[in-house]
Structure 1
């Protein structure tokens, strides 16, 4: 399993996505009515897709996942947590990213030591009801057992969410602090 996407809700995915693309120097993957995707390729490190999906209403909730950009680079994905050390262990297992020593907040980084930090920051307030307007996606690799991954998530304090959206090629989960994320099916032929 690997970390693949940062998904952001937007009423105008093209305008929002192109603005982020211009700021980060990323590459367009998809530009269609339903959404805009752009790829951040870190030399010698991870590839992360920023996916802007169309929603009907402007997000009003304070985001629990924020993109921290410094000098035109995505420095960190700052995810609010009720218990940062606990959630650090959860996300480390989930992503296989490694803890960063000497960081001001608990954080993980791609094993290459390159790319953004996944920083677990203390939450300002408990997670409200409702879906996060920005979330993370992970992708299974061929040979990964989706049910075993779901069991591992539950064993580590997460839970599967059932939104009743029909048969989708991904499953919805929440981390121990309630932050939603998706686990996508393995790519065909991989």
Structure 2
């Protein structure tokens, strides 16, 4: 498969505000600011090799996101510092039914859930973001699809509950699929983008991704330069033009 992971995209009512929140919390920087989007980038030392992209949408957030970020911490004191910083920047604590757990569940200023994890050995070298976590009814099946279209191999399994992918470089966040039987009801406000390399054929890449198990999304617009598809569980994602 010729495509690779290039973006994590977050819908936002106020992209500039949300980008500033995440840049300040992660210690990253706003790299590109234009009418259609705001991009936040990590320093090279962090290991995150994607753009964090905020795009304007008119629709309000309705349900818990099916994709969220887990933030890494090195010590319990560091975890507490991250939580305090998030609250100071405009985040808030939320209850998604987590009960008594060692991680802290928060929401950003537009209600997007994220977790600040307690120290865990698996995430010791990920940089600021430990994991991009995706709810999945069938984690093995969904992980196999995303492994194929990103080139990230399976590197972790926890019974039949969680499957984790990691970039071949061994740097940056995990891409993890966690069992969750909730039914997807609305368009995801957080999605992934993949793209073929510069010089490759876009149409051929789209055909490859569809052959791997994707399907055209109902909101796909043939007038756009990219294609909007859905993965085997209906999560929207984009196949961008070669880059």
Q: TM-score normalised by the shorter chain: which range applies?
A: 0.7 to 0.9
Q: Secondary structure at the match of 2:140?
A: helix
Matched, 1:26 2:81: no
C-alpha contact (below 8 Å) 1:97/1:109 kept by paired residues = yes
The TM-score, its normalising length taken from structure 1, stands at: 0.87
* Post-superposition CA distance 1:21-41 (Å, at most 9, x none): 111122222223443211124
**TM-score, length-scaled by structure 2:** 0.70
Q: Which has the higher strand share?
A: 1
Q: Is the 8 A contact 1:8 1:53 kept in 2?
A: yes
Number of aligned residues: 186
The two structures, once aligned, show a CA RMSD in angstroms of 2.1
Structure 1: tracts of 5 or more residues without a match:
none
C-alpha distance in 2 between matches for 1:116 and 1:87:
18
Corresponding position of 1:185: 241
| Aligned counterparts of 2:176 and 2:15: Cα–Cα separation in 1 | 25
What residue number does 1:58 align with?
A: 60
Aligned match of 1:94: 149
Structure 2: gaps of 5 or more residues: 74-81, 83-127
Deviations 1:6-32 (A, max 9, x none): 000111111111110111122222223
CA distance in structure 2 between the aligned counterparts of 1:110 and 1:9, rounded to whole angstroms: 25
Higher helix proportion (structure 1 or 2): 2
Shift of 1:115: 0.7
Residue 126 (structure 1) aligns with = 183
| Higher Cα radius of gyration | 2
- Looking at structure 2, the residues matched to 113 and 133 of structure 1 have their Cα atoms a distance apart, in angstroms, of 28
